[in-house]
Structure 1
Amino acid sequence: MTDIWIAVIQGIVEGLTEFLPVSSTGHLILSGHLLGFVGDKAETFEIVIQLGAILAVALLYWRRLLRLVGWEDPNHEKQSQKTLTLVHIFLAIIPAMLLGFLLHSFIKDYLFTPRTVLVGLVVGGLFMIFAERKHTLVKANTMDDLTYRQAFQIGLAQCLALWPGFSRSGATIAGGLLSGANLRTSADFSFLIAVPMMVAASTYDLMKNFDKLSTEDLSFFIVGFFVSFIVALLAVVSFLKLLEKVKLSSFAYYRFILAGVFWLYMVGVGLD
């Protein structure tokens, strides 16, 4: 298979799964092994296409992002004095950023394997089901209703996503439900905090892997970036509409099926 087709396939996988509660990292690791696309080049490529997915969310939430830094949206009518601030964002991202920085080498060296991903898929799915069943009293119907405490609780839940396969969006959406936010608010906040969180993580990884970039691979990286951007754009819009019809647990059951199918494949081919 040519590099361009690999770029397209992996770009689609990243775009489809980055903001869905199914673990993009887990899918990329599993699909990378199926395609035989592993190693330093694959790791650097995954960082680049992740930036494409981030750009998609930044485009969809540009008004909200600008309001966070003081821009007054003339089309926004405040219903109350409550509003989402940069403090909420900081409280939601700092726990995982600090823990991720401290455990970065350990995570990269020991947790980025198909077997650990399968464990993350299952455990993350169970956490999502638990959160959905425990979700009873709704205290936040919009992001502007979120308290600092709720933002921090979501940030603590995001730490679970440092385990590949657990899913950042799955952890934060479930954390939002457990904190008292409704499903749509949890999803919106999950996507919003993904921008600074993923930009920081991707920039850090890209700096560490900068020497592995090559001009010969420029077209390969560009294709993957734009495929990821376009697919992520469509995936986020579709997911938000889908949340009106399905439960979070539906994605958990998909994770269980994926883990089971890939485990059978690993047993069959002896994949480590």
Structure 2
Amino acid sequence: MSDWLVAIILGVVEGVTEFLPVSSTGHLVLATELLGFDAARWSVFNIAIQPGAILAIVVLYWRTFLAVLQGLFRREPNSVAFVRNLLIAFLPAAVLGFAFNDRIEALLENATVIAWALIVGGVAILIVERLAKTYKTGGIAGVSWFDSLRIGLVQCIAMIPGVSRSGATIMGAMTLGIERRTAAEFSFFLALPTLTGATVLQMVKHRDAITSGSLQLIGVGFVVSFLVALVVVKGFMALVTRHGFAPFAWYRIVAGGVALIALNVH
């Protein structure tokens, strides 16, 4: 299989899974493993194309970001609270990610851990969907700083590959009583500092592995992940509004089970 086709496939996987509660990193690692790609060679690529999906959120929610920016200049309480909450939620992952980066990378090499994490995460989503009660509304600015911190702490669980960063933050927010749409959007916006920071850290650490040829492949993956994420995020919000997160939970359970079987056969 040509490198260009591999880059396109991985770009599609990243764009589809980054903001769904199914674990983009887990799917990228499993795709690399099950399709027979050289995992070591594509590991940096998988990280480098994440900004493509991040850009999709910026494009889709540009009005929100513009309103917040304008509000900050006018020191409007809602805009200040919006930024404060995201920064507070980002801090735990920033600290732990920097401190335990090498151990996290080691987990990325274990596809079996990822498959089990998909299954366990799926069961957890079903439990939260059944038990969580909504009693907090008001958008991201309406979330308290303490709830933002707790969401950020829950996000750290996603450092285990296969758990899903978006899944952890969304379910964490819902257990705190935050309604589905706000929980999902909090996860989307929190991805900007979290994934940007993780990408910069990994790119600097592995800068010697980046060549002019790999930059071209990264560019392809970036564009593909951006275009796919644009479509997926819109569909995701519509699906969640109607059916909740249960469809993603069942998908995780099935995908994790199939992956375990395939890994054992492989």
**What TM-score, normalized by structure 2, do the two folds share?**
0.93
In the alignment, what sits opposite 2:221?
224
Q: CA deviation at 1:132?
A: 1.7
Structure 1 residues 15-54: Cα deviation after superposition (integer angstroms, max 9, x where no partner): 0000000000010001011222234430111122111111
Q: CA deviation at 1:146?
A: 1.3
2:182 and 2:95 map into 1 onto residues whose CA distance is 25
Q: Which amino acid aligns with 1:118?
A: A
In the alignment, what sits opposite 2:31?
31
In the alignment, what sits opposite 1:17?
17
Q: Is the 8 A contact 1:17 1:27 kept in 2?
A: yes
Q: Is the 8 A contact 2:14 2:50 kept in 1?
A: yes
In the alignment, what sits opposite 1:211?
208
Q: Is the 8 A contact 2:32 2:39 kept in 1?
A: no
3-state SS in 2 of match to 1:165:
coil
1:238 and 1:199 map into 2 onto residues whose CA distance is 24
Q: Do the aligned partners of residues 218 and 155 (structure 1) sit closer, same or farther apart at CA in structure 2, a change above 3 Å counting?
A: closer
User: Aligned ranges for residues 93-172 of structure 1 at < 5 Å?
Assistant: 93-172=90-169
Q: CA deviation at 1:216?
A: 2.2
Q: Do the aligned partners of residues 72 and 110 (structure 1) sit closer, same or farther apart at CA in structure 2, a change above 3 Å counting?
A: closer
In the alignment, what sits opposite 1:266?
263
User: Aligned ranges for residues 225-264 of structure 1 at < 5 Å?
Assistant: 225-264=222-261
**Alignment gaps of 5+ in structure 1:** none
3-state SS in 2 of match to 1:174:
helix
Q: Is the 8 A contact 2:92 2:152 kept in 1?
A: yes
**What TM-score, normalized by structure 1, do the two folds share?**
0.91
Structure number with the higher helix fraction is 2
Are 2:3 and 1:3 equivalent residues in the alignment? yes
2:245 and 2:19 map into 1 onto residues whose CA distance is 13
1:227 and 1:135 map into 2 onto residues whose CA distance is 35
Q: Is the 8 A contact 1:135 1:178 kept in 2?
A: yes
Give the CA RMSD over aligned residues: 1.8
Structure 1 residues 234-267: Cα deviation after superposition (integer angstroms, max 9, x where no partner): 1111101111221212211110000111111112
Q: CA deviation at 1:111?
A: 4.3
% identical equivalent positions? 39
In the alignment, what sits opposite 1:184?
181
Q: Which amino acid aligns with 1:108?
A: E
Number of residue-to-residue matches in the alignment: 262
Q: Which amino acid aligns with 2:41?
A: K
Q: Is the 8 A contact 1:92 1:152 kept in 2?
A: yes
Q: Is the 8 A contact 2:29 2:108 kept in 1?
A: no
Q: Which amino acid aligns with 2:37?
A: F
Q: CA deviation at 1:210?
A: 1.1
Q: Which amino acid aligns with 2:181?
A: R
